[in-house]
Amino acid sequence: MLSVIHQPHELQALLNERKRQGASIGFVPTMGALHDGHASLIEKSWNENDVTVCSIFVNPTQFNNPDDFLHYPKTIEQDTQLLQEAGCDYLFLPTSETMYPTGTPRTRFDFGALETVMEGAFRAGHFNGVGIIVSKLLHLVQPDKAYFGLKDLQQYLVVKQLVADLGFPVQIIGCPIIRDEDGLAMSSRNKRLTATQRAIAPLLYKALQKAESLLATKDFGQIQEEVAALLATEPSFKLEYFEIADGQTLESIKHYSPEKSIALCIAAFLGDVRLIDNILIEK
């Protein structure tokens, strides 16, 4: 039975008691508008831990676009049902006042080169906000394992760096992208797409697949041009970036090496909805 908790001290008391009983804790932090991708994280945690905790908090400090924050989907009734069906034990559902009782945090994180590319380059302050909220949640929940979807690959790598640098005693687990049948990566923002836009959206993944097929045979500059040209066939798409990067550091690479992990990362607007996706080729 899913228990919904709003106050940090209540959650801490419950989890401390479970830990005293020897239970392992799995944690899935989210911003709600849950889908089957989130369900897969909950199910993995359920299989690997005695207790599974999910948080739903639309974190204002990681939005560089106020309109994006205001229009972020909120579907708490459906979310609660999904969590219960997936086996979640506790839902932590705080308010902004609960998480930031003294107002906007003044602490600033510097993730080095990792936050200057891709999402970091186009969303100023985004990863600082991610770092603050993830730190607060990990400190509160103190899980043994925390689960993050690899659709947000850069976020996953930032969180791994945060945990390593600050010494949080938690294992960060990256989980595969879950896709709809037509290839579109599941995302909370997909709920904002019109029917026409939703029919077009799988082109983003097709562009990544095309790039992957060309890696060993074409110059990377040519691949970037072909990806841009493919997206340009649908005027509703506005490409923000497409990068061929090192799969561990996200540093841009210029030449194919079969021995190296490669991340193909893309972001584009479809109307006013911003979509991201990636293909990670691990070695």
**DSSP assignment of 159-200, as one string?**
HHHHHHHHT-S-EEEEEPPPB-TTSPBP-GGGGG--HHHHHH
Q: Tell me whether residue 189 is annotated as binding.
A: yes
Q: Tell me whether residue 161 is annotated as binding.
A: no
Q: Tell me whether residue 1 is annotated as binding.
A: no
Q: Which runs of consecutive H residues, i.e. helices, occur in 87-176?
A: 96-99, 119-122, 126-141, 153-166
The active-site residue out of 6, 9, 38, 255 is: 38
Q: Tell me whether residue 37 is annotated as binding.
A: yes
Q: Tell me whether residue 248 is annotated as binding.
A: no
Q: Tell me whether residue 34 is annotated as binding.
A: yes
Q: Tell me whether residue 33 is annotated as binding.
A: yes
C-alpha separations of 202 from 132, 149, 228, 231 in Å: 33, 19, 15, 11
Q: Nearest CA to 110 among 169, 162, 164, 155? A: 162
Q: Tell me whether residue 173 is annotated as binding.
A: no
Two tokens, residue 24: 């392992």
Q: Tell me whether residue 180 is annotated as binding.
A: no
Spell out the residues 6+ positions from residue 249 whose beta carbon is closer than 8 angstroms to its own. 113, 114, 157
Two tokens, residue 275: 């979509």
Q: Nearest CA to 105 among 61, 43, 144? A: 61
Residue with structure tokens 């049948």? 181
Q: Tell me whether residue 32 is annotated as binding.
A: yes
Active site residue 38: yes
Q: Tell me whether residue 15 is annotated as binding.
A: no
Q: Which residue ranges are tagged as binding site for beta-alanine? A: 62
As annotated, the active-site residues are: 38
Q: Which residue ranges are tagged as binding site? A: 31-38, 62, 149-152, 155, 178, 186-189
Q: Which residue ranges are tagged as binding site for (R)-pantoate? A: 62, 155
Q: Which residue ranges are tagged as binding site for ATP? A: 31-38, 149-152, 178, 186-189
